[in-house]
Amino acid sequence: MDYKDYLEQGIKETNEGKFDDALHSLNRAISLNNNDSLAFFSLAIVFHNLYEYKSAYENYTMAINLNPDMTDAYYNRAQVILAEKDDSRINEAIEDLDKAIELDPKFIDALYYKAVCQKKIEDYKGAIETLDKVLAIEPDAIYSKALRILIKQKYLR
């Protein structure tokens, strides 16, 4: 098997929830070609699913270093930071979300999580502005509507 075969197999195994097999396949792919952002991104997803956040973070970072335009890598890396529940890194998560939004201005999930982060750092007006962007794109975004109402009623009276 060559690099692409191992990569495809690893992605398939990830989708099937066979994470140990996926780790083996993706590590084999990377050993054959360590210059493909998709292989590192895919490996990061496996670690993310295994709640191994440090390894997930490192592999998302490798993917970004190889392909600075990989929107989902920025978004997922921010999700790893948020999953660690370490509010001292919240600004780092916001930076990643901002980059994902820069690459895809209509990335609703990135916008929503940016607003969540802004609320956590008590940037309520910024959170409202971000949520307004979500609602301009998707007027029926229920969670964004609810968060907007909460912030307005509880924090911006």
Judge whether residue 157 has pLDDT over 80.
Answer: no
Backbone angles phi, psi at 63, to 5 degrees: -60, -45
pLDDT (0 to 100) of residue 131: 98
Phi and psi angles of residue 18, each rounded to the nearest 5 degrees, phi first = -90, 75
- What is the percentage of the chain residues whose pLDDT exceeds 90? 96
Per residue in 71-99, pLDDT (tens digit) is 999 999 999 999 998 889 999 999 999 99
This prediction's pTM? 0.95
Predicted confidence (pLDDT) per residue in 116-128, tens digit? 999 999 999 999 9
For residue 59 the two structure tokens come to 């592999």
pLDDT digits (tens, 9 = 90+) for 102-115: 999 999 999 999 99
Rounded to an integer, what distance in angstroms lies between the CA atom of residue 72 and that of residue 63? 10
Which residue from 74, 83, 43 is spatially nearest to 59, judged by alpha carbons?
A: 43
CA separation for the pair 36, 3 (Å, rounded):
10
Helix (H, G, I), strand (E, B) or coil at 101: helix
Residue where the block lists tokens 């592999």:
59
Q: Distance between CA 120 and CA 95 in Å, rounded?
A: 15
Q: How confident is the model at residue 1 (pLDDT cuts 50, 70, 90)?
A: confident
